[in-house]
Amino acid sequence: MRYQHMAHWGMFEVETHDGDVSAVHPFRGDADPSPILDNAVGSVRHRSRVAGPAVRRGWLEHGPGPSDRRGNDEFVAVSWDELTELLAGELQRVVDMHGNRAIFGGSYGWSSPGRFHHAQSQVHRFLKMLGGYTRSVHSYSLGATGVIMPRVVGTHWKLFARATNWDVIARDTDLMVCFGGVPLKNTAVNDGGTSNHPTRGALDALRARGGTVVSVSPLHDDLHGAAERLAPRPGTDVAIMLALAYVLATEGLADRDFLDRYCVGYDKFEDYLLGRTDGIAKTPQWAAALSGLPAETLAALARRMAAGRTLITVTWSLQRVRHGEQAPWAGVTLAAMLGQIGLPGGGFGHGYGSMNEPGIAPVPYPLPTLFQGDNPVGDLIPVAAISDLLLRPGQEYDFDGRRLTYPDIRLVYWAGGNPFHHHQDLGRLRRALTRPDTIVVHDPYWTPTAKHADIVVPSTTSLEREDLSCTRNDPLLVAMHAAAPRFADARDDYDTFSALAHRLGFGDRFTEGRTARQWLEHLYEQWRGFVLADDARVESPPEFDEFWVRGHVRMRTEDELTLFEEFRADPQRNPLRTPSGRIEIFSADIDGFGYDDCTGHPAWFEPEEWLGGPRAQRYPLHLIANQPKTRLHSQLDHGGVSQASKIRGREPVRMHPDDAAARGVADGDVVRVFNDRGACLAGAVLDDGLMPGVVQLATGAWYDPLDPADPGSMCVHGNPNVLTADVGTSSLARGCTGQHVLVQIERFDGDLPPIRAYDPPVIRTR
Ligand code: PGD
């Protein structure tokens, strides 16, 4: 028997044996399925599963309150009735004594696909009905972009959802200049799932037609296959873009008509570019000194860009650094100077190679998502300010032109995310997590976040439940069939919240009288109405029962899409949603905020963590902490594909052979990666595809402190977020900056500590 299912990394069929996944078969319609599908084998009954409700002993015995025992205490197994009683009572206490704003329910994280059981939708809907919660805005993926791009081009999500299609690029682009490359490993993944992976094929088709791809990245494998590779010093892409813009401006290659008709503020930017405002002309020579790339190469590239149909792309990773607002802003500005925005195969793209979605044709229908309602509480934080929120109650801070105050948080509620994966400076996060009265975590696994909770709620994995899967850029609506029985005493998050809601007096409102299966039918029928009303639909969706047996329905897609083509065709009728209706190369609003770390036009700001600054004297290696290729984030780190990449159980750190030799490190050695914030062990992999001075350690190894009592303890497993700085991109967006950090590396000759990351904590019965 095979069961059809969906993961964030693709559609597949599952074979099971003894209640667990024994084999995985990719969907036949997928052109390039992801190898990480195999991580699902053995994942349902893995020893790291949370088998039943558990409460931290200190919390159970002493009641709610700040505690430094979190992450270093044993748990007590409780029944579901006890859990419901304790948790409902604690929520009520916090609401009565401190108000709903004392609950932090941001609960950031990817959880698993499926539109109904989506953990964030469930927790947010529940907390809204409870009276609201302090929320988080934007994402770790796109913290800077989410704030800067609406101010520059009036949107951020349309840049991906309505990106120029891969088919158009393969057909029309002459030159694709990719800042950050187009890393295929990231296109394995799509938030909500995907039925096809077209990126590899599209790039191959572009090259077969005679198009050229230029990859600007310190990592050779950020682009597969034939490409011109420019390896700059990390963090200098904006300087490179400015130098390219300088050549266009000074050699008469900028499209003045486009800049006049479709943009505002070019002249102010040009004053900066040419050095009229700060005395520094942003010449190729100037950028060469910063980036290490030859000035002639940059000048020649600029001229080639102006000579044909050119697409400039910027990966999301380039905005996950200090001053991350600048790279996408400078990229749009450069594309505007070429005058090809809105033309097939030309202009700007953001996120090709960051996730599967950009470049895939969108569907024109609303998705069958769970309506969450309004949040009666107005307090918010930018998502990556979690430690500041907990450590600085009452303190004011800047965000996107506003002055906000951190509320005093008493209860933290997390379902479907892993802050010990996603947040920076984990030592600081651990100190922050000592402050609240109560931390609640729903997760199928004993992640490090679950181990730091007071109340741990065992969730099912998506494989144990039925759901609907679809995303805004995939033609299929998919029936996700349950493949395995529920593990031990795990429950769907929906059932947990239903029980809590009943205990708190709003159960009927929360469930609307529906079982989970009835919710799926309800969401499907609503969605079916939209499709049936569309005369141009490609397929008529059948009634639910037939759909469920058939497995999927194909939707119409908007093919041949070019980003901003309507705006180009008629900027008066189709203005951008910016104050001017045009592309804001200069933003009077941002200028008016008076921030010194994000001014009115794109500019070069020297970061703290880069090889050209004073900090590199102490920590001379630039670590790129990017997305892993063997799993999604921290999910299924214990799976076979992820484990096969580890070196003596540690996450691999890639180093240039010269850097390794200078430290007496051989391939396969365990090394200590450190700076003044923390340290971790990792396994050395020598690779001359990295530029010297650059090392790479992916995120996602489960945090595993040598001494769980010590917040500053070394992670023995290789989580780079013990090293990264907990500092926002700028006063404007305060986005995550985890992608870059300076470190030193030495061979580790001590006794190798065991990996305990996947072991459950001590759990006693009463
Ligand atoms: P995941 O590992 O996906 O990481 O951070 P995120 O928190 O999303 O965590 C999801 C959790 O949900 C897992 O623990 C999983 O078990 C759980 N889960 C799955 N299904 C369910 C369910 O049905 N119910 C419940 N309750 N739980 C479920 C990702 C974040 O990390 C992102 S998006 C980015 S882009 C960032 N990138 C970087 C980076 O580039 N560099 C650094 N240094 N750090 C980063 N962190 C960010």
Choose the residue to mutate in 117, 736, 743 for probing ligand 1, maximizing ligand atoms within 8 Å of C-beta.
736
If we measure between CA atoms, which residue out of 511, 507, 500 comes closest to residue 86? 500
Q: Which domains does the chain have, with CATH numbers?
A: 62-139+367-469+492-539 (3.40.50.740), 163-361+564-593 (3.40.228.10), 614-747 (2.40.40.20)
C-alpha 133 – ligand 1 centre gap (Å): 21
Is residue 356 part of an annotated ligand binding site?
Answer: no
Is residue 320 part of an annotated ligand binding site?
Answer: yes
Write the pLDDT tens digit of every residue in 664-675. 999 999 999 999
Is residue 190 part of an annotated ligand binding site?
Answer: no
Ligand 1 atom closest to 110 (CA): 8
- The pLDDT of residue 1: 85
Token pair of 204, please? 């191959």
Is residue 756 part of an annotated ligand binding site?
Answer: no
Residues of the chain predicted below pLDDT 50:
none
What residue ranges line ligand 1, CB within 6 angstroms? Answer: 109-112, 117, 119, 139-141, 320, 415-418, 421-422, 442-445, 447, 459, 461-462, 493, 625-627, 632-635, 699, 720-721, 724, 736, 738-739
Residue of the CA atom closest to atom 35 of ligand 1: 141
- The pLDDT of residue 328: 98
Q: How far is CA 583 from CA 59, 142, 330, 473, 656, in A?
A: 53, 20, 12, 25, 41
Helix residue ranges per DSSP H, 192-236: 199-208
Is residue 110 part of an annotated ligand binding site?
Answer: yes
- The position carrying tokens 């990264």 is 724
Ligand 1 atom closest to 320 (CA): 40
* Catalytic positions, written as ranges: 108, 110
Query: CB–CB of 346/173 below 8 Å?
Result: yes
Question: 397 has which bridge partners?
Answer: 404
- The pLDDT of residue 517: 98
Q: How many other C-beta atoms lie within 10 A of the C-beta of residue 514? A: 15
C-alpha 635 – ligand 1 centre gap (Å): 7
- The pLDDT of residue 250: 98
Phi and psi for 316 in degrees, rounded to 5? -65, -25
C-alpha 421 – ligand 1 centre gap (Å): 6
Contacts of 542 (CB under 8 A, 6+ apart): 550, 553
- The pLDDT of residue 598: 98
Token pair of 186, please? 């990231």
Size (the chain), residues = 766
- The pLDDT of residue 766: 82
Choose the residue to mutate in 446, 699, 726 for probing ligand 1, maximizing ligand atoms within 8 Å of C-beta.
699
> Within the chain, how many helices (H) and strands (E) appear?
26, 30
Burial (CB count <10 Å: 0-12, 13-18, 19+), residue 508: exposed
Write the pLDDT tens digit of every residue in 655-665. 999 999 999 99
Query: Three-state SS for 653?
Result: strand
User: How would you write 673-684 as a 3-class SS string?
Assistant: EECCCCEEEEEE
Give residue 507's Cα distance to chain centre: 33
Residue of the CA atom closest to atom 3 of ligand 1: 110
